[in-house]
Structure 1
Amino acid sequence: MAVDFTDPRSGFRHNEVVMFINEEVVSNGGGPDFYLTFRSRPWNEIEDELQSILADLQVPRTVKRACLWSALALNVRVATRQRELQARRVRRLQEQVGERETAAWALASQLRRLREEREVLVRQLRSTRSDLQQALNEREELRGQLLQAERQPSEVASPSRSQQLGADAWPLTAEERNKLLIATSQRRQMVEAQKEEAQKEEAQKEKAQKEEAQNAPAGVG
């Protein structure tokens, strides 16, 4: 028997077909040797061996016919093996495609996350730049106020210690400096007026004392 009924790799699905091939092989004087020898070989080797047998004039025609039927069965077996290999290759490719798709989705998700993080960083950078520019502007404004305060006339009375500390801690605006200068000038004028009034009163007292001394009667000796 050339083809085994129970061999799932033979490629045949119907027992009647297998029985007919085996009968043709046996009836033509053949046996299972050709089939068993080449059942795991590729088709090109099977065909080369069959061509060698057919070209041999010493091989009987019946044996050639038996080998031809065995080669036919082997061809079905080779086709089945190739179909199984192709199916496995397709499944492997499908798995690889699935893996690539999963990786692509993961990369796309990661790309979206990186873009969102980039947008957040860009907004933070813009906010930081704005804060920095505002701080620089405030520094320049404070520097200008400090320079202007240093250029004030020296005759202006200096403010009290607490006011001076406050001014050092936080520079005055132009309006606040004007108010401070006016208040200082008014206090100075008030102090000078009070001083003049006190001097006048003192002079009047001295004058009155002199007049009393002159008008007093001379004492008895």
Structure 2
Amino acid sequence: MAMDYGDHASGFRHNEVIKFINNEVLMNGGSPDFYMAFRSRPWNEVEDQLLAVVVDPQVPSPIKRACAWSALALSVRVAARQQEQQAYRVQRLQAQLEEREVAFWSLSSQLQRLCKEREEVAAELRCTLASVQQAMAERDVLRGRLPQAERSVQIYPLPQEIPHFFHLVCPLQSLCPAEAAVASKEGASIKSRGWKLDQPPV
């Protein structure tokens, strides 16, 4: 018997078909050897072996027919194996596709979060830049006023008599005789310029 009835990998679904092929193999003088030898091999090897049997003039015709029936059964088995492998590949591709979709949505969420953070950082950067520009403008204004202030100090120096003025507004009795004499002279000098002792110079 070439094929087993309980072999689901054979590709046949009906036991009557399996029985018919087995009978044809046995009735033509064949054996399960051809089927069993190539049951796990690819179809090109099966066909090459069948070709070697068919073209051999020393092989009887019934044996050739038996090998042809075995090759037919093997072709169905190869097709079933390829279909199973294809189904497995499809399942793997579907699983990979689901993984890629999960990764895509995860990356999409991260991208949205990063875009939001980038907008926030850009807004903070714009505010900081505006503050820096304002500070630079104020610095330029103050820098422009500095020479004018320096010229004003050079044109209008503080009078030398101001330190003695504070002594003049104080009672002369609180000073020693030498200081009182100096203060009296300073007061007379200031009065000659039109200043009053009880008022600061204008």
User: Normalising to structure 1: TM-score of the pair?
Assistant: 0.65
The one-letter amino acid of 1:62's match is: P
Show the counterpart of 2:181. Answer: none
Determine if the alignment matches structure 1 residue 34 to structure 2 residue 34: yes
Show the counterpart of 1:76. Answer: 76
Distance in structure 1 (CA, Å) of the matches to 2:196 and 2:74: 136
Show the counterpart of 1:168. Answer: none
Deviations 1:27-47 (A, max 9, x none): 111111110001011111111
* Pair member with larger Rg: 1
Deviations 1:180-202 (A, max 9, x none): xxxxxxxxxxxx67559xxxxxx
Q: Among all aligned residue pairs of Structure 1 and Structure 2, give the percentage whose two residues are the same amino acid.
A: 58
Distance in structure 2 (CA, Å) of the matches to 1:193 and 1:47: 134
Distance in structure 2 (CA, Å) of the matches to 1:154 and 1:109: 70
The one-letter amino acid of 2:27's match is: S
Counterparts in 2 of 1:114 and 1:195: CA distance versus 1, 3 Å: closer
Number of paired residues? Answer: 166
Show the counterpart of 1:161. Answer: none
Secondary structure of the 2:65 match is: helix
Alpha-carbon distance, 1:115 to partner: 2.0
Show the counterpart of 1:15. Answer: 15
Distance in structure 1 (CA, Å) of the matches to 2:54 and 2:48: 10
The one-letter amino acid of 1:154's match is: Y
Determine if the alignment matches structure 1 residue 57 to structure 2 residue 61: no
Show the counterpart of 2:3. Answer: 3
Distance in structure 1 (CA, Å) of the matches to 2:146 and 2:79: 98
The one-letter amino acid of 1:96's match is: Q
Show the counterpart of 1:142. Answer: 142
The one-letter amino acid of 1:88's match is: Y
Determine if the alignment matches structure 1 residue 44 to structure 2 residue 44: yes
Comparing 111-120 with 62-71, greater Cα deviation is found at 111-120
CA RMSD of aligned residues (A): 2.7
Structure 1 residues without counterparts, runs of 5 or longer: 158-191, 197-221
Show the counterpart of 1:154. Answer: 156
Alpha-carbon distance, 1:12 to partner: 0.9
Distance in structure 1 (CA, Å) of the matches to 2:141 and 2:54: 109
User: Normalising to structure 2: TM-score of the pair?
Assistant: 0.71
